Structure 1
């Protein structure tokens, strides 16, 4: 009799399957395809795509530059507004931003492939080598940036371009933030996140110190004393509670942590995954962990979301992506209790949900779902490591339009600030806005 395999293990698939499953989900356009696609653009004067872009990239301009055979010049147009243009081309939800409002989409249901054209241009520029910007003369000013994610590095790059010396303090071993640790592996392949970091740093004037977490080895008051200005791009460190009985049982995993482990794994075959996987949540993280569980060999993967499909933060495209990969999505369902056996989670007791007079509530009906692994993908929370030094709003750092905080000389951006969109592109915009504000402050 064959030995029964454990319910949670690695090596569920043939060794060759992992590379195929985690290959680039959107292969890049070749030269001919880019020219054909760029020719579809109407080059609108009032460009709704540009208005929809959080970083206000001049999209008609860069597509025209591709069309006329100048992809590296097109990349410069992109990088003027978004130095993370390469990664944003891969992970931005273009289907709900620039491409959603494309005139071709409105008229024909088939938008210009703006994201793929952006990738074509930025890849061409990075392959050519060099850096599209040069530093201004040294200003003699020093700026501390805490966090080497999209917000922090975008801020650091723009400050360096203005001639300031920047020191970036990063808690982890690698730079890149969620671009390195939190994005589905099939969206950013071949170590692109680190290559982009290297490209950004090649402007010069930026030094990164890893293993420096704010509130531990790093104190805000020391940064205020040692630097002329401080930018905080510290992201979200906490994980929201499920609010269900036994949620701390073995077998309950944090989706963000699991994705991080997957992204850093040298051999995906060794990463354990359950046969039956439940994912709680309705955002991009829920989709990413569900799809990747399936690609790792999970037999049955189900996403549970307490409201309807139209209320999910994950776009319709991402929901379709999950379902075409064999992931099931159950709407109007909320977990009430983790089912436990011998100290380990073996399933969820769920309640059917409905909206009554504008309030979400249970119908009184429940059902049980078995599981070997359960992922929480219900959002992250801000952890105040600053001991109340900055004013908060809605549980995150309060910042104005220029990303100035309540304390003079301190700026903040990205996921840690109130009102953030939790998108890479929005974090990049925050970093650039803050850098311009800091530059004006230092010149005063």
Structure 2
């Protein structure tokens, strides 16, 4: 039976370095100026509303073209304080770049907005923080969760002069940018560098290893602080519901990605030889590609519907195939094969759609020998964070319900990011949630209850 291989000779040091280098290398000065001059600077630019944070894209690109790099960076950061990471991880091919008018004939190729955004952020003069904090208001806000939503909320409130305590369950701040993004998308500790940049505004105190519902209750936070923002993310991983799912070799994909991102010696990181990933989103793509880049021999993504239904974009799917990952569609896990407390294989049942377009199994089974199975079938919100609270926010399904201003059913509690019932689970949406909630909280603290 094949077991995870951790011998140091699996790949050379040069191969590890190459495999986990930046997959979107930075533009040179020459490349950036050539690309910036392709922009038509449309008066009613369709790329702006296609950006969830509303960055004035033609404006910042025009500033690059005219050598005003600091001005370009300022235009980005005004709308998106995490513009650097979003430039690296956003699926720009289905957002701003999909809306670009250059997609039409004769070029049929969008301006590479994401790479230009990265160029502007990376090349700004970093001597001074681009924002100034207003005089101290004496108001205190608890921001629970230091992922993109929490960071954006904390930064915007700190700019207004409020005092923020940023709580997080993890040892390091950054949320999924630190723990859940493929290593080749955010390299060289960029997630931590961006957190440090956010903190430079001042007025933000960090508290790590803090778990809401255990370290302190929501009731206590509401009493101690003028307002509370919840950027809790999704702490639970969905299960397959199969017998033997708890055996060795079966793992949540995000846990594996987190371990990889925090590893200092990839040659000592266990990786299976034959791997199956269950799921069809970006997390499935990320873990599959990273396993191949770690030296796995066979990696298969198994998805219950056709590839056009996968939440991973066609660009991400193509990237997986380019990495040698097989994508097997119209199959669902039926049962696991185990031996001595470890997974050895998986039975996949062929699926189809009935006359009402409901998914159903056909009874046809394919067996794949494996030594590792990763589950990437989505996450769920863990409501136990509201333990010991007399009042907790209302849920819409399995997520926190919020109004148009991101306020929950509790008068002084707002929420944003993956834990709420709005928008796809993308970094850029989380940033916008935090920004909009900060505006509403500020209005509330100013006494404008209706707008808050």
Under a length normalisation based on structure 1, what TM-score does the superposition of the two structures give? Answer: 0.97
Question: Which secondary structure does the structure 1 equivalent of 2:264 belong to?
Answer: coil
1:425 maps to: 428
Question: Which secondary structure does the structure 1 equivalent of 2:167 belong to?
Answer: strand
Q: Is the 8 A contact 2:278 2:301 kept in 1?
A: yes
Question: Which secondary structure does the structure 2 equivalent of 1:277 belong to?
Answer: strand
Question: Which secondary structure does the structure 1 equivalent of 2:407 belong to?
Answer: coil
Q: Is the 8 A contact 1:52 1:101 kept in 2?
A: yes
Q: Is the 8 A contact 1:214 1:220 kept in 2?
A: yes
Equivalent residue runs for 1:405-416 within 5 Å:
405-416=408-419
Q: Write out per-residue CA displacement over residues 398-436 of structure 1, whole angstroms, 9 at most, x where no aligned residue.
A: 011211000000000000101341100000000000000
1:95 maps to: 93
Q: Is the 8 A contact 1:8 1:372 kept in 2?
A: no
Q: Write out per-residue CA displacement over residues 36-60 of structure 1, whole angstroms, 9 at most, x where no aligned residue.
A: 0000001111111111111011001
Question: Which secondary structure does the structure 2 equivalent of 1:247 belong to?
Answer: coil
Q: Write out per-residue CA displacement over residues 169-228 of structure 1, whole angstroms, 9 at most, x where no aligned residue.
A: 111110000000000000011111100000010011111011111011121111111110
Choose the corresponding residue for 2:5, options 4, 8, 12: 8
Q: Is the 8 A contact 1:143 1:165 kept in 2?
A: yes
Choose the corresponding residue for 1:207, options 193, 196, 205: 205
Question: Which secondary structure does the structure 2 equivalent of 1:225 belong to?
Answer: helix
Give distance in 1, aligned partners of 2:30 and 2:212: 48
1:256 aligns with 2:262: no
Give distance in 2, aligned partners of 1:208 and 1:6: 41
Greater Cα shift, 40-49 or 254-263? 40-49
2:131 maps to: 133
Greater Cα shift, 256-265 or 354-363? 354-363
Q: Is the 8 A contact 2:136 2:162 kept in 1?
A: yes
Q: Write out per-residue CA displacement over residues 354-386 of structure 1, whole angstroms, 9 at most, x where no aligned residue.
A: 111210001121110111110000010000021
Q: Write out per-residue CA displacement over residues 234-286 of structure 1, whole angstroms, 9 at most, x where no aligned residue.
A: 11110101122221221101100000000000111111000001000000000
1:366 maps to: 365
1:73 maps to: 71
Question: Which secondary structure does the structure 2 equivalent of 1:69 belong to?
Answer: coil
Give distance in 2, aligned partners of 1:208 and 1:416: 21
Where does structure 2 lack aligned partners over 5 or more consecutive residues? 448-452
Choose the corresponding residue for 1:152, options 150, 153, 163: 150
Q: Is the 8 A contact 1:283 1:313 kept in 2?
A: yes
2:118 maps to: 119
Greater Cα shift, 5-14 or 266-275? 5-14
Equivalent residue runs for 1:17-28 within 5 Å:
17-28=15-26
Give the direction of change, closer, same or farther, for the CA distance of 1:10–1:398 in structure 2 (3 Å limit). farther
Give distance in 1, aligned partners of 2:76 and 2:296: 39
Choose the corresponding residue for 1:246, options 230, 240, 244: 244
Q: CA deviation at 1:7?
A: 4.2
Choose the corresponding residue for 1:48, options 32, 46, 61: 46
Equivalent residue runs for 1:290-301 within 5 Å:
290-301=288-299
Choose the corresponding residue for 1:172, options 170, 173, 183: 170
Q: CA deviation at 1:336?
A: 0.8
2:376 maps to: 377
Q: Is the 8 A contact 2:4 2:371 kept in 1?
A: yes
Question: Which secondary structure does the structure 2 equivalent of 1:374 belong to?
Answer: strand
2:450 maps to: none
Q: Write out per-residue CA displacement over residues 317-370 of structure 1, whole angstroms, 9 at most, x where no aligned residue.
A: 000000001000001010010111121111110100111121000112111011
Paired residues in the alignment total: 440
Q: CA deviation at 1:5?
A: 8.1
1:390 aligns with 2:389: no
Choose the corresponding residue for 2:441, options 417, 438, 443: 438
Q: Is the 8 A contact 1:273 1:296 kept in 2?
A: yes
2:27 maps to: 29
2:180 maps to: 182
Q: CA deviation at 1:140?
A: 1.3
RMSD: 1.2
Give distance in 2, aligned partners of 1:114 and 1:131: 24
Q: CA deviation at 1:128?
A: 2.5
Question: Which secondary structure does the structure 2 equivalent of 1:427 belong to?
Answer: helix
Q: Write out per-residue CA displacement over residues 28-87 of structure 1, whole angstroms, 9 at most, x where no aligned residue.
A: 001111100000001111111111111011001100111110111111100111000000
Give distance in 2, aligned partners of 1:34 and 1:129: 22
Give distance in 1, aligned partners of 2:365 and 2:3: 29
Give distance in 2, aligned partners of 1:335 and 1:130: 54
Question: Which secondary structure does the structure 1 equivalent of 2:210 belong to?
Answer: coil
Question: Which secondary structure does the structure 2 equivalent of 1:337 belong to?
Answer: strand
